[in-house]
Structure 1
Amino acid sequence: MRILCIGDIFGRPGRAILKSKLAGLREELDADFVIVNIENAAGGRGISPKLYDEFSQLPIDVMTSGNHIWEQRDINNYLSEKKNLLRPHNAPSDRPGKGFGVFPAKNGALVGVINVQGRAHMHEGDVHANPFTVVDQLVTDMHVSTPIIVVDIHAETTSEKKSMGWYLDGRVSCVYGTHTHVQTADEQVLPKGTAYLTDIGMTGPHDSVIGVRPQDGIKRFLSDGKEKNWEVADKGVAINGLILEVDEKTGHALSIRRLQIQE
């Protein structure tokens, strides 16, 4: 089966290209299942109920997220109610929602999806549970329902994401990273059958500093971090992601390739 994973949707430009191209892309690729990270959909900061409703009209099966999901407070009820809207499962337990689920694919197979957040150099990293131990139990439980499991680890450091890939090799179909907004070129199928990519990239304006106008990114560093105002960039808009081929019986990855679609 074929699974399409789309990188962090950033602001209005990211939303626009997703709306204009996703349906055709899914049909062209004959994708059985689509996962989209909506972490930055609302102006770079989380997702609103209105935007969730808009995305629900698109051919998306599951929406994952990350540290910015908490910035739109009115999304909290949706996190509790909408089963396909995931937040990092290792977030503090008093927060709404969950970060996992088993969902039906177009071809009739069941796909397990897990969303966790890294802790190294991450905002609130110290209040999140260890993502490795959290994933351990989720994977064990999911194997009762399906061998096909995809993990989105929303993390800053390459080392934490690489470690997760090797830790889960042979136990899940794919581990991919989100959060840094720059697609890496290290896609591989690990020895025991797990596909891996350190970061699948950003769906949004790439003539930017990870989504914001270049001049705003530069100002932040010139001011030693004191300048915090920024606006979403609007040029070089592209979709980033990956295409995964999985053996339905074993859950092992057959192949993984990066996806880049220009506006």
Structure 2
Amino acid sequence: MKILFVGDVVGSVGIKAIETYLPEIKKKVKPQLTIVNGENAAGGKGTKEPDYQKITRAGADVVTGGNHTWDKREILDFIDDPKKNILRPYNFPGKNVPGRGFIEINVNSKKVYVINMMGTAMMRALDNPFLAADDLLKTLDDDAIKFVDFHAETTSEKIAFANYMVGRVSAVVGTHTHVQTNDAQVINKQTALLTDVGMTGSYDGILGDKKEPIINNFLTQRPNRFDVDEDGRMQINFCVVEINDKTNNARSIKNYVITPNNQTFLN
């Protein structure tokens, strides 16, 4: 099975990049499942229903979240809709948390779990994702593919989590930092890892935001309002994970970028 995973969609440029590139990517990759992180789609923070609709119409089967999941209150109007495949991190603390932290999908008679987890190093004080994953996996079908979007700040936590999950999940792909890493690997011929898949949005900004306020912040050490760069050229970052349907182990993981200066994938 091939699973296509697309990095954090940031603002209207990110939505446009999804609408422009995702159909073409799917034609070439021919994935059985497409997952897109959409937690920055609504002006850089959160996801509104029109954003979700645009992402899914472009070809996403599941939309995952992260630390900005609750930034737009409108998400509460649709995150519990069972017809919408949108996730928030599983390890938010407390009971009766809106939405779902994982979803079960049947792909060509094969059961697949898409799981959304969030790290705690330099992030919010959520429940421990390592222990939360332990508890969750006890309730899931062992004979199933398990794909984890691990939304976290530090590379060390993402790598540690993937190694902790070796042989128990098929893939751990990191999101949140908006910069694609060059460490795609299959650990022990079992679990695919990419520390961060990168972002989908403005190629001309800084992590999807306008450059000037961020640069000024470093120059002055004074607060500046950071705004999403809605005028930049498009980029899209993604990876493709190939998984053995019989063993649920990853066979390969490859990361890709499409930017104004790198159109190799489309050729």
TM-score of Structure 1 vs Structure 2, range by shorter chain:
over 0.9
The alignment partner of 2:136 has SS state of helix
1:209-259 residue CA offsets vs partner (Å, 9 max, x unmatched): 111111121122234251124242533421101101100011100000002
Q: Is the partner of 1:74 in helix, strand or coil? A: helix
State the percentage of identical aligned residues.
41
SS in 2 for 1:215: helix
Unaligned runs of 5+ in 1: none
- Tell me how large the CA RMSD over aligned residues is: 1.6
Code of the aligned partner of 2:234: V
Cα distance in 2, alignment partners of residues 66 and 27 from structure 1: 28
What's the counterpart of residue 74 of structure 2?
74
Q: 1:211 corresponds to which residue?
A: 208
Alignment of 1:136 with 2:138, yes or no, is no
Within the alignment, does 1:86 sit opposite 2:84 as a pair?
A: no
Q: Residue 31 of structure 1: CA displacement?
A: 0.6
* Residues 41-120 of structure 1 aligned to structure 2 (within 5 Å): 41-82=41-82, 83-93=84-94, 94-105=96-107, 107-120=108-121
**Per-residue deviation at 1:185?**
0.1
Amino acid at match of 2:131: T
Q: TM-score, normalised on structure 1?
A: 0.93
Unaligned runs of 5+ in 2: 261-267
Paired amino acid for 2:93: P
* Closer, same or farther: CA 21–192 of 1 in aligned 2, 3 Å: closer
TM-score under structure 2 length normalisation: 0.91
How many residues are treated as equivalent by the alignment?
258
Distance in 2 (CA, whole Å) between partners of 1:231 and 1:138 is: 35
2:203–2:259 Cα contact (<8 Å) kept: no
Q: Quick one: distance in 1 between partners of 2:6 and 2:57?
A: 16
**Kept after mapping to 1: 8 A contact 2:189/2:251:** no
Q: CA deviation at 1:88?
A: 0.5
Question: Aligned to 1:133, what secondary structure does the other structure show?
Answer: helix
1:192 Cα deviation from its structure 2 partner: 4.8
